[in-house]
Each structure stands twice: as C-alpha cells, then as structure tokens.
Amino acid sequence: MEIRAAEDIEIRTDLFPPLSPLASSLYDSFLSSHCSSCFSLLPPSPPQPLYCSAACSLTDSFTNSPQFPPEITPILPSDIRTSLHLLNSTAVDTSSSPHRLNNLLTNHHLLMADPSISVAIHHAANFIATVIRSNRKNTELEEAAICAVLTNAVEVHDSNGLALGIALYNSSFSWINHSCSPNSCYRFVNNRTSYHDVHVTNTETSSNLELQEQVCGTSLNSGNGNGPKLIVRSIKRIKSGEEITVSYIDLLQPTGLRQSDLWSKYRFMCNCGRCAASPPAYVDSILEGVLTLESEKTTVGHFDGSTNKDEAVGKMNDYIQEAIDDFLSDNIDPKTCCEMIESVLHHGIQFKEDSQPHCLRLHACHYVALNAYITLATAYRIRSIDSETGIVCDMSRISAAYSLFLAGVSHHLFCAERSFAISAAKFWKNAGELLFDLAPKLLMELSVESDVKCTKCLMLETSNSHRDIKEKSRQILSCVRDISQVTWSFLTRGCPYLEKFRSPVDFSLTRTNGEREESSKDQTQLKVIIKEEEATEGQVGIIIPFEKLESLPLSHLPDLKASTTGMLYHFHD
C-alpha cells in the first residue's frame, strides 16, 4: 500500500487536516500525570481520575476495566489498552479478516509465525477477550487487533520530544510508507490546541491527496474524535505522482541499526535510496566515523584497547551507551555520568595496529556521540539545579555548550540530508532555550542589565520557498558562527572535550593530541584534486581521508558519496 501526491506539493505544506486516532493509550509511567484521553497534563485536582475533564472520561468505555493490564513481553500494557480501544471503536469493521482490520494491514500471518512474539500475542488476545467478554470460538479478532497496533501504531511525543504513549490512525496515515530519507514528517496536537494555532501554511491542502482518498475509501478525518491529533507536513518539494513518505524510526542512526530497528518493530527491511546507496551516503559514513590519531603521551582516562579496530570502536560505543542507560535508569548520579562519558569522548581508546599504539576517537558526528551530547546537556543541567550557588553558572554554561554543539552537528548533517530538518530544528530550539536560561544567571552574577537583540537573523520572515529557506539557514548559521568565535571559548571553559573544537559549527580540532595545534599547512595537504574533468562548471572534486573528516569546513556543503579511500565531494566555488 502507498499514498502518492495528486498534485505538486510545496515544502512546509500540511497534507491534510488533523487526523483523530482510531485508538490511543498512554505509557504506564504517564497515567498519573496526563489525561488518558487527550494526553494533556492533568490539573492539580482532576475532576475524574486519569482524565482532565468529565468530557474526556466519557470517551473511554473501559474506565471500569483493568487500567494496568499485564506486561506480556514484548507486548506492553499500552499496546493492550490501545487494542481494547480499537475493538470498541465504532469506526472499526470487526468483521474483517485477520489480515486486515478496517483497511489496516495487520501482518497477522507474519507475526503469528514468529515464535519470539506469537505466544505473547496469544496471551494478550486471551486477556482482551476476557475484558470484552467475547463469546467467539477463537481469539483471531483480538489477535488481529494487537497485530494492527504493533504494525501501525506510532509513538506520540509532546512538544519537548517526550514519548507519552502510542496512537493508531486510519489508512490515510497508516498507508504512508517509510523512508530513511522521507519527504514528509508528522507531529501531534491535542484537543485543547486549535488547528489554526499550529497550521501556519496553505490551508487548502485537502486536494493534495484526493486521488488517494478515493483509493482508501475512507474519510481523511475519520477516527474516534478524541486523543492526540496528527498532522503530516511536507519537508521537501513533492512532485505530482511522487510517493509520500515519512520515517518510522530515528533517522540519526547508521544503516545497519536502522535496518535492525525496522525489522524488530515492523518486520520489513528498507530499500530506500539512502539504504541502498553504494558506496554509503555521506551521512551514513560520518554517523559511524572514527578518527585514528597518534597515541597520546598520557594514558590517563584511557581504556584497555585491542588489536582489532572494530572491536575497539565497539568497546567505546558500549561503554558510552551503558553510562547513558545507567543515568536514565537512575543507577548513577549526573556527575558520574558526565565523568564516564567525557573520559571516552575526550581520550578515546587505545589499540595496536602493526605493533604501533594508536588512539581511536569517535567523530563529532558519530551517532553514539550525538546521544552522548543529549545526555551530557541534560546531566549538566540537573547538576546546575542541584549544585551549590558558586558553580551553578559553570554547570549551566557547559550544559548550554553541549546543547549548542549538538545543534551545530545536527545542522551539518541536515546540510547533507534535508530530512534531518526536524531533528536539527529541535536541537537548535533546545540550545536556544538553554542559552536564554544561562543569560540571566550570568547577568545576575555580573550585576548588569542588558537588552541585546540580533539584527542579522532574529524575526526572519517566514517563507515557503526552498531557496529562501536555504538562504535563511545560511544567515542563521553565519550569525551563530560569528557569535561562537567570541563565546565558544567561554562556554567550553573547563570542558576538555569541547575545548578541542574551534566552534560548535566548525569541527576542526584546535589540538589533535592534547598539545599540537593543527597548522594551515596540515589543512591544505588534505585536499587532493581528482577527476576535475568530471566536475560540472563551478565545482571541484576533492578527496578527504576518513580520518581527517574533522577538519572539513562546514561552509562547504557535502553533496556526494563515499569513495573507497575517503569522502568525495563536489563543492561550489
């Protein structure tokens, strides 16, 4: 199944009005803090348990049923609750075959043939049949409902990116296929938010998918009218007849992890252009990028390496991920988390190659490093709240530095893969909020008042043109680069890892082994002109070895793919 555009669609266009879910459910950890119907935050004294209003409580027919169904690994209680609501929905045709439920593909035959999950589905179906007091001879329909949820439900995030629960939408959305380089994205609004408050572009978009609405045979706005509404928006220009695609998973992962994620969750392997690229696309190479440097004179903070480079990289990844997981599970405090992660980011790991010791470090854009920056920004922010007055500013300052660095890295990736726009925008927003939070603390320390506004990039007019958006992006980046030349050394003071980098938007190292400055001569030697006759007018072909990727100037936007010896780019003069 697929959905294609019936006409040309410009960037930043909402493809259809907000969709109400067929069924939804909060995760267990949010049942006491958010409304089980609309997912809004509960008031201090809610009129009804689990609901923000009496109206929301009337939408749930299973109010008196078990609110905490058993966890039947790998099926979560939220999956079971959503399946219950789906079967109770008047919009669902319960006479459908197990392979389809109201035009939704269930993958029933695939999931029930998989022994790793089929037993759990069967147990969950028995539980649901008991709750709804089914008198059918088998639980095939209940199994189909669970399979439909597992196959089609999406995770609902709030404005801060926090995953609150899951929701299932009709075929208008569920028929949209996945791509690792999608042309559209989706977001959520709750019933308390007016569509016109968030719909800031062309409102006459219902005809964009008119052909597909006829194919689906369902109303674009069908649903139970409650729960978090979903809006699909184009993030690239889409031509008439082109397939609409979104991403089902985190795109800031290399190909192997994306494929594994898709198979474990949805039982298919992606064959989009990004996944099938050979050699790999630039972003997939750099998301697994590592730097091989001369071994540092000191071994303080280093970890025992090996003679195998891949094994050494795996050890670094595992150590950082373990620290992140322990921090998120409250098994270690924020200070310990920062020390563990930063020791690996800063020092890397030693390994021997040809009997010579070398030092491996993750590239600034490595996918594990991205997760580390997110965790470090959070950990330092928590430390700023819990710290003594004297070091509050220091903790806030380093938190803002990591957030700003993450925004710069994501912008670099966005320049190579435009579908990263949502992630980049979120990281820039978070960085801005932390910098705004830091400013009054600094002013309070200095006992001065300031009302400084940037005339270069703030309050830019909104535009739909792809060219205009590119130009505004460059203006903002230029502004950040100018500011960072002055502020970066201040923000990163006392943070050895970030002090290595020239700025949050230029990943050139100020020192490669803790003491030697990179010279302009070193930078020049990286560039080797190749196949100039194949370059188009105004372009030059160059190769930059993988281990020298950190010195790539961000002002040059990578536009091609990996070669066997390094990264091949065409840069506009």
Q: Each residue of 253-286: pLDDT tens digit?
A: 999 999 999 998 888 899 999 999 989 999 999 9
Domain membership of residue 144 (yes or no) is: yes
343 versus 293: the higher-pLDDT residue is: 343
Q: Which domain holds residue 472?
A: 286-536
Q: What is the pLDDT of residue 541?
A: 38
Confidence of residue 374 (pLDDT cuts 50, 70, 90): very high
Q: What is the pLDDT of residue 189?
A: 85
Same domain, 178 and 124: no
Same domain, 151 and 196: no
Are the C-beta atoms of 538 and 573 separated by less than 8 Å? yes
Q: How far apart are CA 58 and CA 24, in angstroms?
A: 15
Q: What is the pLDDT of residue 559?
A: 41
Same domain, 347 and 469: yes
470 versus 216: the higher-pLDDT residue is: 470
Q: What is the pLDDT of residue 261?
A: 93
Confidence of residue 390 (pLDDT cuts 50, 70, 90): low
Pairing of strands 539-545, 566-572: antiparallel
Q: How far apart are CA 162 and CA 159, in angstroms?
A: 7
Q: What is the pLDDT of residue 118?
A: 93
Domain membership of residue 266 (yes or no) is: no
Are the C-beta atoms of 556 and 569 separated by less than 8 Å? yes
Same domain, 358 and 474: yes
Domain membership of residue 356 (yes or no) is: yes
Confidence of residue 437 (pLDDT cuts 50, 70, 90): confident
Same domain, 123 and 199: no
Same domain, 236 and 115: no
Taking residue 305's Cβ as centre, other Cβ atoms within 10 Å add up to 23
* Average pLDDT estimate for 491-519: 70
Same domain, 177 and 155: no
Same domain, 129 and 182: no
Domain membership of residue 265 (yes or no) is: no
Same domain, 292 and 441: yes
Supply 190's token pair.
């709750």
Domain membership of residue 556 (yes or no) is: no
Same domain, 373 and 439: yes
pLDDT-wise least confident of 36-45, 64-73, 365-374, 510-519: 510-519
Q: Is 331 helix (H, G, I), strand (E, B) or coil?
A: coil
Residue 545 has pLDDT above 60, yes or no: no
Structure-token match 């050979």, residue found: 278
Confidence of residue 485 (pLDDT cuts 50, 70, 90): low
Q: What is the pLDDT of residue 490?
A: 86
Q: How far apart are CA 359 and CA 343, in angstroms?
A: 13
Residue 357 has pLDDT above 80, yes or no: no
Domain membership of residue 256 (yes or no) is: no
* Average pLDDT estimate for 171-191: 91
Domain membership of residue 273 (yes or no) is: no
Same domain, 239 and 387: no
Same domain, 333 and 467: yes
Indicate the number of domains in the chain: 3
Q: How far apart are CA 71 and CA 80, in angstroms?
A: 9
**Ordered DSSP codes for 459-484:** TPPP---HHHHHHHHHHHHHHHHHHH
**221: CATH:** 2.170.270.10
Top mean-pLDDT range of 11-20, 50-59, 191-200, 522-531: 11-20
Q: What is the pLDDT of residue 241?
A: 95
Q: How far apart are CA 258 and CA 266, in angstroms?
A: 11
pLDDT-wise least confident of 127-136, 181-190, 285-294, 446-455: 446-455
279 cis-preceded (ω within 30 degrees of 0): yes
Bridge partner residues of 62 (DSSP): none
22: region left, alpha or beta (phi > 0 left; psi from -120 to 50 alpha)? alpha
Domain membership of residue 509 (yes or no) is: yes
Residue that terminates a domain, selected from 141, 166, 191: 166
192 versus 519: the higher-pLDDT residue is: 192
504 versus 299: the higher-pLDDT residue is: 504
40-84 pLDDT, tens digit each: 999 888 877 888 888 888 776 554 455 567 778 889 999 999 999
